[in-house]
A and B are shown apart, each in its own frame.
Chain A
Amino acid sequence: MLFLQNLINGLLLGGLYICIAIGFSLIWGVLNIINLVHGSFIVLGSYLAFYAFALFGISPFIAPIFIMPLMFMVGYALQRGVVNRVMDKPVLITLTLTFGIDLIVNNSLLWAFTANFRRVVFPEPYKTLELAGLIIPTDRVFAMLLALFLTVLFYILLNGSRIGRAIVAVRNDPETAILMGVDVKQIYAITFGIGAAFAGAAGSLLSAVFPISPIVSGLYLGKAFVVCVLGGLGGIGGAVVGGLTLGVIESLAVMVAGPEHTVLVGFLVLLAVLLVKPTGIVGKQGYE
């Protein structure tokens, strides 16, 4: 019973992890850049949702509609303006660059919002369902459902639209994509924007469930890392598999060792995967 409860917790958490990781995985997979600003993007999304709720009463479950376009523009501008200049450089350069950008963004968030934690407080808190002896918090259920909805949306976008197919083409073979008339620079910027948009959406969903502060950006970034390595950079499948798997692993670890060690467990999983099968569970791309 306890096992089942933890399993459910894990899957609900996993849904959120999928959302956290999708944007990160997209940018890593298509641009071959590890975007260390991702955590701060998520936190920014959380703050946007917080203020949308506090000022306009928009629920964090609906706020992504507004937040995603905003964050898309932020990401697009950042890539077009700055990140684009290091597109073909080695990982040392790109990682250091995004680290530097993250210092700027995170510091700005700290300055604007201070480190104090905030919570989205609903006038009527979401109920907790009890089904067959299992405790199911409905806010997390909504978050997970929305995360899955966004994931499906993304899948449709990627496979159904011209831009989506261009993105896939660039991911698989940038040189051939150029020959086929794809504006690769534009695609890179758009992809980065989409990554930021999903980070913002994830932040919005997270704000419904967890407290918000710029301090936790590293925590979310870490989760995104682990999910992507665990699941693989092959595409949405990797993020889904990785997210759910990590959620379940963490919940089981909580069952065995208590909640203080989830971060450690996550990184141990990361190292284990890297040593055994770096491309992850689903991963096809042997991206270096």
Chain B
Amino acid sequence: MSSLFQTRNLSRSFGGLRAVSDVTIDVPAGCVMGLIGPNGAGKTTLVNLISGALKPSAGEILFKGQRTDGLPAYRIARLGIARTYQIVQPFPKMTALENVAAAAIFAGNAGSLARANRTAEEQLERVGLNGLGSVPAASLSLGQRKRLELAKSLAMKPALLLLDEVNAGLHGSELSEAIALIRDLAKGGLTIIIIEHLMKVVVSLCDEIAVLHQGELIARGPSSVIMNDDRVIEAYLGERYSKQGRTGNALNHAQT
């Protein structure tokens, strides 16, 4: 299987702290990979390294066969990697349409402002925000802003989409709609790496799961295997596992 994206021995330290340590993963095109791990495991740092917000201390990142570690973030965006933020980052005074159009113009190579606006409308509709195009981004609700973030990423015509806790703070119907949307995107062939805490989301969406703990990749494989992996359970529950017993159910319990 052709590998769209890989990291090799990727590391990043902050002073004495190794936030990401020697991570090697391979993401084939079309895969939906879940990235899980307890808080502070290094997931967001890893995503920051991939998107170019941070430079690695060591190791390599390859995208479509090309080295991208060390490239500035804007170049990586133009090459086809888009990401969403845990704490959303819109352009607050611009309307939702303008937000998405901006992404279309620069990373999405829209050509003209008119074409960018058309693309923006398409993406807004895709994420279910049609009709809200002329609302300033700052006035949208959290759920709407999350979807706006997604629309912006899609307008960039990415080959690889990084979703960082895109569902955090969503509940009920908003959550199921979000999950359905991501599933649609995956079916369309988009390669996705998704950081998630909600286990049911991870299990239902992801083909593969990578588990980080204290910066290291401790497990990698299909969902069913990972969910029952002892190391993974221990990483999440630590001492607690002795209270609840070493079963896959304990993991599911802990993460609702």
Task: Indicate whether A and B are direct neighbours in the complex (CB within 8 Å).
Answer: no
